[in-house]
Amino acid sequence: MNASTPSSSKPLAADEVAYEAPESLAGSVVTSLKWKFGSQIVRETTRLTVAIILARILTPGEWGLASMALVVAALLELVPDAVSGGLVQRSRISERDRSTIFWTALGLGIGVALLGIAASGTIAAFFGEPDAQELIAAVSVGLAITSLGVVPESLLMRDLDYRSLELRHMTATFVGAGVALTLAFSGAGAWAIVGNALAFVTTSVTLLWVFVKWRPSFVFSRASFTSLGAYGLRMFGAQALTFAQLSGDKVLVGRYLGAASLGTYALSFNLMFTPIVNIAFPIQNVLFPAYSTIQDDEDRLRAAWLRGKRLAVAALAPLFLTALVIAPDLVPVVFGSKWEDAIPVLQLLCVAGVAYALLTQNPTLLLVRNEMRTLLRWSTFVTSFMLGAIAVGLTWGVVGVATTYAIARWAVVLPDTWISTRGAAIRLPTALAAACASLPFAAAATGAALLLRFLLVEAGLPAALRLLVVAPSVVTFYVALVWAFSPSLRDEAKDAIRLARRRGRDS
C-alpha cells in the first residue's frame, strides 16, 4: 500500500500515516496470496511430515497431553494478540498508536504468561492429568515471547508485506520441526510437540524484528489505548468465542473422556482442519487488510467479497470431501493401526468442514465494517449452541462428539450468512449462490470417488494403492466437472491464475 493523503478532509497529524487503496486491489491481493500459499505448501509439507513421524512414535495419550497444554496456550494467546486488530483496520495510525499497542501487548503477554504458570497445577487437575502441569507452564512462558511480535506482525500485514511474513513463517517451521524430531527420537514424549511450538514462536518473533525497521518509542497514549483498545476488546471477545467453538470440544473431551480419547480426537480434528489452516485462514488474513482499504466503497467491497467467497469454497469443499473418502485408507497407511479409532471421527469432522467452508469470510465482512456488536452477539449464541451440542455428544464418546459437532455446524450456516451480509446490503440468496456454486460438482466428484474405492476394495487392491488412486481421482473428477459445466467458476479461476502468473513475472 502507498502512504498518501487520506481521502477524508481531516489533515494528517505530524506522526500519522494514512493508507490509500491501490487502483488494482486484485494485484496486491494476488501477490500476497502467492506468498501465503507458497509458504503454506512448504510449511504444511513439513508439518505433516513431522506429524506423521510423531504419530508413529508417540502414543494417543502423549498426543493428548500435549494437546491439553496447547489448548490452554491458544486461549491465553488471544489476550495480547487481540489488542493489535485496530492497527490493521484503521485507515490511519500514528507513532503513539503503534507504541501504545506494543507496550500494552507486552504487558498483557507477561501477565497471561504468569497466570498460566500459576494456574498450571489447577488446570492439570481439571483434566485429571498431573503430567500436563509442566507442559502447561512451559507453553505459558512462550506467551510472553509471542507478545513481542504482535505489533511488528500487524504492521507487515497492514502493508500487505506477506513476503517478509511468510519467509519468517517458513524458517520458524523448519526450526520447530528440527526441535520436535530431536526430542521425539530422544524419547521426550509429549515434550516433542510442546518443544516444536516453543521453537516456532521464538524463531518467528526474532525474525519479525529483523524484517520490521520500526522500533517502539517510550510513550503511552491514553487516547490511543482507549480508541484502539475498544476495538481490540471487542475483537478479543469475538476471538475468544471463536476459540471456544473450535477448542471447546477438545477441552470437554480431555476433561471427560481422557488423554487417549483427546489424542484420537485431536489428530482427527487437525487433519480435518488442514484445509482451513492452509486455505481459509490465509485468504482471510490477506483479505481483511485488503477489504479494509475499500471499506468506504460498498459496491467494490460487495463484489470483492462475493468473488472471494466463491473461490474460497470452490477450493475448500473438495478437499474436505476427499479426506472423507480416503480416511479408511489414509489413517492406517500413514499413521499406523493404533490410530484406526480416528477414522469415523475424521469422516464426521470432514462433513462439518464442508459447512465451515460455507461460512468462510463471514466474520471478515463484519470485522471490516466494524460491526463488532453484531459479531459478538452472534458469536455468543453460536458458541453456546456448539458447546451444548458437543456436551450432548460426550455420551457416545469421540464419535458422538464428532457427530453432534457436524450437525451443529451445519445448523448455523443459514443464519450466520444472513447476519453477516445484511449490513453490507448483500441479499441472502446472492450470498448462498456464491457459497454453493461449486458444491454440486464437489458432491458428484465425491460420489464417483466412493464408487471407485468400492470397486478397488472388491478387487482386493491394497490400502496403500487405493489411497494413491482414489485421492487424486476426487480432484480430477471435480476439476473436470467445473471446467465442463461451470463457465463462471472456470473463468474466475482462469483469471486468478492468469493474474498470479503476471504478478509473478512482474515481481
Q: Which residues contact 146 (CB under 8 A, 6 or more apart)?
A: 77, 80, 81, 109, 201, 205
Q: Which residues contact 415 (CB under 8 A, 6 or more apart)?
A: none
Distance CA 66, CA 39 (A): 25
Where is average pLDDT lowest: 233-242, 341-350, 357-366?
Answer: 233-242
Residue type, 255: R
- How sure is the predictor about 270, in pLDDT bands with cuts at 50, 70 and 90? confident
Give the model's pLDDT for residue 23.
Answer: 47
Residues 356 and 462 in one domain: yes
Residues 51 and 135 in one domain: yes
Residues 204 and 336 in one domain: no
Give the model's pLDDT for residue 6.
Answer: 40
Radius of gyration of the chain (CA): 23
> Which range has the top average pLDDT, 148-157, 378-387, 498-507?
378-387
pTM, rounded to two decimals = 0.72
CB count, 10 Å around CB of 307? 15
Q: Are 250 and 71 in contact (CB under 8 A)?
A: yes
Residue 3: what are its φ and ψ, rounded to 5°?
-70, 135
Q: Are 165 and 155 in contact (CB under 8 A)?
A: no
The pairing of strands 16-20 and 92-94 is antiparallel
Where is average pLDDT lowest: 13-22, 35-44, 186-195, 353-362?
Answer: 13-22
More confident residue, 43 or 485: 485
Range(s) of the domain holding residue 211: 28-220
Where is average pLDDT lowest: 87-91, 122-126, 155-159, 269-273?
Answer: 87-91
Give the max Cα distance, the chain: 75
Asked if residue 237 belongs to a domain, the reply is no
Residues 324 and 438 in one domain: yes
Domain count for the chain, please give it: 2
Q: Which of 220, 239, 263 is the endpoint of a domain?
A: 220
Give the model's pLDDT for residue 290.
Answer: 60
Residues 216 and 257 in one domain: no
Rounded to an integer, the average pLDDT of 498-504 is: 54
- How sure is the predictor about 29, in pLDDT bands with cuts at 50, 70 and 90? low
Q: Are 340 and 331 in contact (CB under 8 A)?
A: yes
Rounded to an integer, the average pLDDT of 473-492 is: 87
- Quick check: 471 pLDDT over 80? yes
Asked if residue 305 belongs to a domain, the reply is yes
Residues 333 and 457 in one domain: yes
- Quick check: 298 pLDDT over 90? no
Residues 316 and 421 in one domain: yes
Distance CA 226, CA 282 (A): 30
The three cell numbers locating residue 98: 503503534
- How sure is the predictor about 3, in pLDDT bands with cuts at 50, 70 and 90? very low
Asked if residue 83 belongs to a domain, the reply is yes
Where is average pLDDT lowest: 182-191, 207-216, 372-381, 446-455?
Answer: 372-381
Rounded to an integer, the average pLDDT of 235-239 is: 69
Asked if residue 389 belongs to a domain, the reply is yes
Closest CA to 75 of 280, 228, 236, 264: 236
β-bridge mates for residue 20, sequence order: 2
Closest CA to 199 of 212, 214, 184, 187: 184
- Order across the sheet with 16-20: list the strands: 2-3, 16-20, 92-94
- Quick check: 118 pLDDT over 90? yes
Rounded to an integer, the average pLDDT of 111-130 is: 92
Asked if residue 385 belongs to a domain, the reply is yes
CB count, 10 Å around CB of 106? 17
Where is average pLDDT lowest: 47-56, 72-81, 186-195, 409-418?
Answer: 72-81
- Quick check: 12 pLDDT over 70? no
Give the model's pLDDT for residue 235.
Answer: 66
Residues 195 and 158 in one domain: yes
Q: Are 486 and 441 in contact (CB under 8 A)?
A: yes
Q: Are 73 and 139 in contact (CB under 8 A)?
A: yes
Distance CA 441, CA 405 (A): 25
Asked if residue 206 belongs to a domain, the reply is yes
More confident residue, 437 or 74: 437
Asked if residue 21 belongs to a domain, the reply is no
Q: Which of 220, 239, 258 is the endpoint of a domain?
A: 220
Residues 432 and 310 in one domain: yes
Residues 327 and 433 in one domain: yes
Asked if residue 123 belongs to a domain, the reply is yes
Rounded to an integer, the average pLDDT of 66-81 is: 80
Residues 161 and 290 in one domain: no
Residues 202 and 298 in one domain: no
Q: Are 74 and 276 in contact (CB under 8 A)?
A: no
